[in-house]
Amino acid sequence: MTTIKFVQGDITRQTADAIVNAANSSLLGGGGVDGAILRRGGPAILEACRKLRASHYGKGLRTGQAVATTAGELDAQWVIHTVGPVHSREEDRSDQLASCYRESLRVADELGARTVAFPAVSAGIYGWPMDDAARIAVATVRAAQTSVEEVTFVLFDEAAYEAFGRQL
């Protein structure tokens, strides 16, 4: 049984075995939570991402997939990078968003991570409406078959925190 928690704050200040990054398929950085993680985590994370691109992901990491690197100077052992879908009004990409949470937890299980911190994947630059992002995130983690003992959703602002809280 996985305990689910919600906190409001900056995920780069969170302590967890694994911190999930809302990355993009290049794995080479961006804005939002990705930029914050790469800044505070120091150069080791980007260096590990570059190596992953060269060794395994020449075309980039696909949407809905997840891969781990060192967490550099963050208070965690690993960063799990996942690529959320860009929100679309024409196409239902909910399965891809759910896959981000499932795949991140699968990678966490492989690593032996017991505690995992997630941001609201896709709910920033990628435009996913917060209430729907929260619904998919919480339902997917609840339904996941995982050995992870504790999942903490780290929500950047009050509106996001409240949207996730409504899922309880």
* Neighbouring residues of 117: CB distance < 8 A, sequence distance ≥ 6: 11, 14, 16, 18, 19, 20, 76, 151, 152, 153, 154
Q: Is 44 in the site for ligand AR6 (CB under 6 A)?
A: no
Nearer to ligand AR6, 124 or 147 (CB): 124
Active site residue 34: yes
Span near ligand AR6 by CB under 6 A; candidates 57-65, 90-98, 114-122, 141-149: 114-122
- Cβ at position 6, least distance to ligand AR6 in Å: 12
User: How far is the CA of 138 from the CAs of 50, 59, 108, in angstroms?
Assistant: 31, 30, 17
- Tokens 């879908």 — which residue? 85
Binding letters toward ligand AR6, positions 49-88, x by CB under 6 A: -----------------------------------x----
Q: Is 36 in the site for ligand AR6 (CB under 6 A)?
A: yes
Strand order in the sheet with 150-155: 3-8, 150-155, 115-118, 18-23, 78-83, 66-70
Q: Is 33 in the site for ligand AR6 (CB under 6 A)?
A: yes
- Among 48, 116, 154, 163, indicate the residue that binds ligand AR6 (CB under 6 A): 154
